[in-house]
Amino acid sequence: MRKRTLGTGASALEVSALGLGCMGMSYGYGPAADKQEMIALIRAAVERGVTFFDTAEAYGPFTNEELVGEALAPFHGQVVIATKFGFKLGSNGGQTGMDSRPKHIREVAEASLKRLKVEAIDLFYQHRVDPDTPIEDVAGTVKELIQEGKVKHFGLSEAGAQTIRRAHAVQPVTALQSEYSLWWRAPEVDVLPTLEELGIGLVPFSPLGKGFLTGAINETTTFDKSDFRMIVPRFTPEARKANQALVDLLGEIGARQNATPAQIALAWLLAQKPWIAPIPGTTKLERLEENLGAAAVELTPDTLREIESATSRITVHGARYPEELERRTGR
């Protein structure tokens, strides 16, 4: 697996070109998977060259960090683990709002260190921008944690360009994690140019459109009641039917390249910038191997132009989040 560098200078962090998003193993896409099977899957990813793993205290909550910590304990010093702070978690584990107060950031850091079984958090993201806490205070707190040796790198998630600039001025931001894929390209407007200017890496989550770009989901697919996609406007049967055109395009290009739609979608992301490291998630070994195969798919300039031209004529239907969740992004 080739490596990529997120950030520059002292804040540079080398990771595998494709990472592994671990959220869905515990949370978000239906019932949690078997813990021992997921430990085996995470270790299989390490064996195949993946060095970049993504989790958060909010996933579960807490259980995903515990899973990742146990799975990666034998590989300390060989892998990069990213986790996140910034949500207020209720007694039942649900998210009840934002909380990026300095005191809370420190509490989360200490708890995450224990669950992850590490001496320092490799990459510590603010999960969503907290409108009640100045970003300068957030960045300053993480800067102190870096100075104390408890955190190595600072990241933001779903932040807007102005927030990124303000945070970066206090503590260099190594990476921004945001949704980015062929069916969510909003970051291209002002976020990607800002990252390029400041030397910040991009870690796209949901690079396969929450599974839709794999071609394994159609208008008749049913989701478990605990699956987040049940409340996503883009996943109504009507929207899925309308959005099939994008998957069909990926299938056509894939057929010529001896690649799957998912591999084309990931290869397209990798071709956008050398400082982009997507983190597709899965609970299946065959999907893991399929996703990692995308790193070997070379898209020629002609093919990239063809994708650009074809997608410009395809309208993606449905919002990516319910309105309440979308309000938490792009601040």
Tell me the pLDDT of the chain averaged across its residues.
97
Domain count, the chain: 1
Asked if the model's pLDDT at residue 65 lies above 80, the reply is yes
Residues 6+ away with beta carbon under 8 Å from 47: none
| Residue 96, pLDDT score | 87
- Residue that is written with structure tokens 């030397």 in the block: 199
pLDDT digits (tens, 9 = 90+) for 152-198: 999 999 999 999 999 999 999 999 999 999 999 999 999 999 999 99
Q: What value does the mean pLDDT take over residues 302-328?
A: 95
Residue of 59, 125, 180, 321 with catalytic role: 59
Q: Is residue 107 part of a domain?
A: yes
Q: Is residue 101 part of a domain?
A: yes
CATH of the domain at 25: 3.20.20.100
pLDDT digits (tens, 9 = 90+) for 223-234: 999 999 999 999
| Residue 94, pLDDT score | 79
Strands annotated E in the chain: 3-6, 13-16, 20-21, 52-54, 80-85, 87-89, 95-98, 121-126, 151-157, 173-179, 201-205
Q: Is residue 59 part of a domain?
A: yes
pLDDT digits (tens, 9 = 90+) for 80-97: 999 999 999 987 777 889
Is 330:321 a contact under the CB 8 Å cutoff?
A: no
Active-site annotation holds for 59: yes
Q: Is residue 219 part of a domain?
A: no
Share of the chain above pLDDT 70, in %: 100
Task: Kindly report the pTM of this predicted structure.
Answer: 0.98
Q: Is residue 166 part of a domain?
A: yes
Domain that holds residue 92: 3-208+269-297
Tell me the β-bridge partners of 145.
Answer: none
Give the other-Cβ count within 10 Å of 231's Cβ. 12
Is 8:275 a contact under the CB 8 Å cutoff?
A: no
- Residue that is written with structure tokens 């078997």 in the block: 34
| Residue 92, pLDDT score | 76
